[in-house]
């Protein structure tokens, strides 16, 4: 079984995450990547990660801004105990279907651009229960359909 961590990873939980998960899908900062690399080295592991992109460039959301993702990817790619396997997005909520699809298209463009320099960046994680069909059409290799499987969350 291959385990993916999806969700914001706090720096104080990195050691547990590196020990448990094959992939960490939500690497959202250079500081977090640096910490993952350090712990992975201590654990004698190459940690596979996805870079989280703040595709809507929304303030107070996790992820690299679209204008900084390529520079961040190149910097993180220098870490010896990290392998960049893909990118992931969680688009901002919108009722505008065209705008939503544009987020998917932009994510695929970014992933392809990164892949020209970082050959391991072959995956794209995007799409959830309500939009996974469109995400797959736009190139998603990983989808997140928890609501379809487990039902809505109790608030």
Residue 16 placed within a domain: yes
User: Quick one: tokens of 154?
Assistant: 């109790």
Assigned domain for 110 exists: yes
- Summarize pLDDT for 17-73 with one digit per residue, the tens: 999 999 999 999 999 999 999 999 999 999 999 999 999 999 889 999 999 999 999
Find out whether 136 and 128 touch, Cβ atoms under 8 Å.
no
**Any domain includes 47:** yes
Q: State which residues form the domain around 41.
A: 4-150
Q: What is the pLDDT of residues 105-147, one digit of tens each?
A: 999 999 999 999 999 999 999 988 888 899 999 999 999 887 7
Q: Please check whether residue 82 is in contact with residue 51, taking contact to mean a CB–CB distance below 8 angstroms.
A: no
In a domain, 81, yes or no: yes
Query: Is the separation of the CB atoms in 31 and 10 below 8 Å?
Result: no
Q: What is the pTM of this model?
A: 0.93
- Residue 48 belongs to a domain with what CATH number? 3.20.20.10
Number of domains in the chain: 1
Whether residue 122 is contained in a domain is answered as yes
CA 10 to mean position of chain CA atoms: 15
Whether 75 maps to a domain, the answer reads yes
């Amino acid at each position: 079984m291959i385990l993916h961590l999806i969700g914001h990873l706090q720096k104080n939980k990195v050691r547990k995450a590196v020990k448990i998960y094959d992939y960490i899908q939500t690497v959202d900062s250079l500081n977090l990547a640096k910490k993952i690399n350090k712990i992975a080295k201590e654990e004698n592991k190459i940690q596979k990660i996805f870079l989280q992109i703040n595709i809507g460039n929304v303030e107070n959301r996790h992820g690299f801004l679209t204008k900084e993702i390529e520079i961040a990817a190149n910097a993180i790619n220098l870490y010896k105990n990290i392998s960049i396997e893909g990118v992931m997005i969680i688009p901002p909520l919108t009722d505008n279907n065209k705008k939503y699809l544009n987020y998917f298209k932009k994510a695929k463009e970014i992933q392809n651009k990164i892949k020209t320099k970082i050959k391991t960046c072959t995956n794209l994680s995007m799409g959830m229960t309500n939009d996974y069909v469109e995400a797959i059409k736009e190139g998603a290799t990983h989808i997140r359909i928890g609501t379809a499987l487990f039902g809505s969350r109790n608030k």
